[in-house]
Structures are given as C-alpha cells and as structure tokens.
C-alpha cells in the first residue's frame, strides 16, 4: 500500500477556486506535473479525515475520481488531493450543454458503474447529486463521469451498526 500522505511543498496551490461543498473548498493545484483538485477540509480532525479517506483510497474505477493523497500543511490544515476533472461538475455540464439521449445514457451508465465499484467495497455513497459527479474528458474526446466527495459515505458495516445516514443540506 502506498503512503497516503503528500508533502505540503510537493503541491503547488494556484488560488483558482473550483467549488465549495459542505466539507470544504476546492481549488486547482499542481502535483507531479498534473493538474489536481485540492480540497481544504473544514474539519481538521486527522482521525476523522483518515477514516473517510480509507474508504476512497482503494476504489479503482474509471468512474471514481482518482485519489492521490492527503496533505497536512505547516499550520495543520488538512487537504485532499484528487485528479482534476476538466469539465467540472455534472451540474455545470448540464447548464452549458444540451446532450442527446446517447450522452444521457452514457452518463447514467457511468454513474451506475461508479456506484457498483463503491458497493464492491461495501461503501454506501450517501450524497449522490450533480455537484458530486465530475465530468472528465479523455484523450479520445469521450466524456467520463466520476463520482467524487466521499465525505458522507459510510461502510455497510457502519450502516448495519445504525450510524445515521443522510445527505448534505442545501
């Protein structure tokens, strides 16, 4: 298993905001020569953050946003580093585009495949909404949808134990 911690100085922060969610703000960064999304957690409790990331780090699917690691800054702020999705969120995509039925079918299949990957690892994804689905584009110009933001997900074992399930509030 590779180390999930990234040295703070290895990531270049651009200051360009990509979005904001219930768990923190996301900005564009650069890591190992690639554009990345860097999410600053609102909650800096290291144990809670690592518990959430433990669920995400093993997921390896074209339809799950790629997890690179976690940064702990010199002032003890915590950040999550993931692949940058070039086309933003599905919400943004639908605001700018009117896709035909074949693209809509691909979107549904990609989301379903991402959820299947979660279920393979007994992860219950609890925050399915267009803002948490990212749209990436491959070299061959095909869209690929990727599930992101696992901050509210729980394991099946946690659900069986009666942990409270619920999505983000708007």
Catalytically active residues, by annotation: 127
Distance CA 136, CA 143 (A): 6
Residue 18, C-beta contacts closer than 8 angstroms, at least 6 positions apart: 26, 27, 28, 37, 84, 88
Say if residues 93 and 87 touch (Cβ distance below 8 Å). Answer: yes
Distance CA 136, CA 132 (A): 13
Say if residues 89 and 134 touch (Cβ distance below 8 Å). Answer: yes
């Amino acid at each position: 298993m590779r180390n999930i911690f990234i040295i703070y100085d290895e990531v270049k922060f651009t200051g360009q905001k990509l979005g904001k969610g219930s768990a923190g703000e996301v900005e564009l960064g650069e890591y190992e020569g690639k554009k990345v999304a860097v999410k600053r957690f609102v909650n800096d409790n290291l144990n809670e953050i690592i518990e959430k990331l433990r669920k995400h780090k093993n997921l390896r699917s074209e339809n799950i946003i790629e997890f690179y690691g976690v940064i702990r800054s010199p002032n003890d702020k915590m950040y999550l580093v993931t692949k940058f999705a070039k086309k933003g969120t599905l919400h943004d995509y639908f605001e700018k585009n009117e896709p035909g039925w074949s693209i809509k079918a691909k979107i549904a299949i990609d989301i379903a495949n991402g959820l299947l990957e979660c279920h393979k690892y007994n992860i219950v994804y609890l925050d399915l909404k267009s803002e948490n689905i990212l749209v990436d584009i491959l070299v061959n110009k095909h869209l690929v949808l990727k599930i992101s933001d696992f901050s509210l997900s729980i394991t099946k074992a946690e659900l069986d134990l009666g942990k409270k399930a619920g999505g983000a509030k708007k």
